[in-house]
């Protein structure tokens, strides 16, 4: 039954992803869509010594990959290759370096500095991950009938993500990224995954500033906002939005819970 649910879920997500990508690419200027603008802003604002822009998604689709392409940003998904990309053994992600010339009085020396990319972590898998001969590979082909490597919702999800070595490696990379982060932006994340929330809650306890944008608060989000004064939550309220922080509630006329409106209102105005 679990296998059948996984296959049907994969087919559904593949179909809906194809439809979403078609809508995005047929729009007037796809590169100006909100996720592409956000990624570009994060990328351009990265410190000189940054290794990557860490992005974590529990979704199976490939929309973040598409938006990285639209924003002309380099992307690392943890796989190496071209048509049949294999998951890296050992460390899932690798720091890329570029060689630069640093002037030194009358001479110059070569320095190798990190080459920033978007490091995409998918702790629940992806519709592009397939199981071939018992090993996960990444194939950019939505017509294949090979089993997809995704952790489906339900009582087996926690077990799946711990047993599979790739899932476990992704989760470890995600935890390390959260531990290094100085702030966190959550888009539509409901905090309903116990096996993913541990590192985040530890950092919230340490006072990490966190902004949550979502259509509707889940009970877990409401509990987090109530407990941590360093968390700001924004949700839909009629045609506008409601923002909460540390017991305060503010009503906003603009729907700033939507990423596009949020960027235009607070970061691009």
Of 33, 6, 45, nearest in space to 126 by CA: 6
Mean pLDDT of the chain: 88
Name the strand (E) or helix (H) holding 182: none
Summarize pLDDT for 20-45 with one digit per residue, the tens: 999 999 998 999 999 999 999 999 99
pLDDT score for 149: 87
Instruction: Using the structure block, give the residue that is written with the tokens 């992600």.
Output: 93
Q: What are the φ/ψ torsions at residue 59 (nearest 5 degrees)?
A: -85, 155
- 220-254 per-position pLDDT tens digit: 999 999 999 999 999 999 999 999 999 999 999 99
pLDDT: is 200 or 108 the higher one? 200
Report the C-alpha gap between 116 and 94 in whole angstroms: 11
Task: Give the range of the structural domain holding residue 25, as residue numbers without chain letter.
Answer: 2-267
Closest CA to 21 of 54, 55, 64, 73: 64
- Expressed in angstroms, the distance from the first to the final Cα of the chain is 51
Q: Say what the pLDDT of residue 47 is.
A: 85
Task: Please give the tally of structural domains in the chain.
Answer: 1
Cβ atoms within 10 A of the Cβ of 195, count? 14
């Amino acid at each position: 039954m679990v296998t059948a649910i996984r296959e049907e879920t994969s087919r559904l997500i593949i179909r809906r992803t194809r439809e979403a990508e078609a809508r995005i690419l047929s729009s007037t200027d796809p590169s100006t869509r909100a996720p592409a603008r956000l990624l570009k802003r994060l990328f351009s604002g990265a410190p000189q010594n940054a290794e990557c822009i860490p992005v974590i998604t529990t979704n199976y689709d490939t929309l973040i990959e598409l938006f990285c392409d639209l924003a002309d940003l380099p992307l690392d998904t943890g796989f190496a290759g071209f048509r049949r990309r294999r998951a890296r053994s050992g460390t899932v992600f690798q720091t890329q370096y570029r060689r630069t010339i640093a002037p030194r009085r009358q001479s110059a020396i070569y320095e190798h500095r990190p080459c920033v990319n978007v490091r995409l972590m998918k702790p629940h898998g992806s519709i592009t991950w397939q199981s071939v001969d018992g090993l996960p590979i990444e194939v950019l082909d939505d017509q294949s009938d090979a089993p997809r490597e995704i952790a489906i919702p339900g009582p087996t999800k926690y077990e799946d993500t711990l047993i599979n070595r790739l899932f476990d490696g992704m989760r470890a990379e995600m935890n390390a990224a959260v531990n290094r982060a100085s702030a966190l932006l959550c888009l539509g994340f409901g905090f309903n995954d116990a096996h993913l929330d541990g590192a985040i809650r530890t950092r919230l306890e340490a006072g990490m500033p966190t902004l949550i944008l979502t259509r509707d608060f889940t009970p877990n989000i409401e509990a987090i906002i109530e407990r941590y004064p360093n968390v700001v939550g924004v949700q839909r309220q009629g045609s506008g939005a409601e923002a909460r922080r540390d017991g305060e509630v503010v009503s906003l006329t603009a729907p700033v819970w939507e990423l596009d409106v949020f960027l235009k209102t607070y970061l691009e105005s």
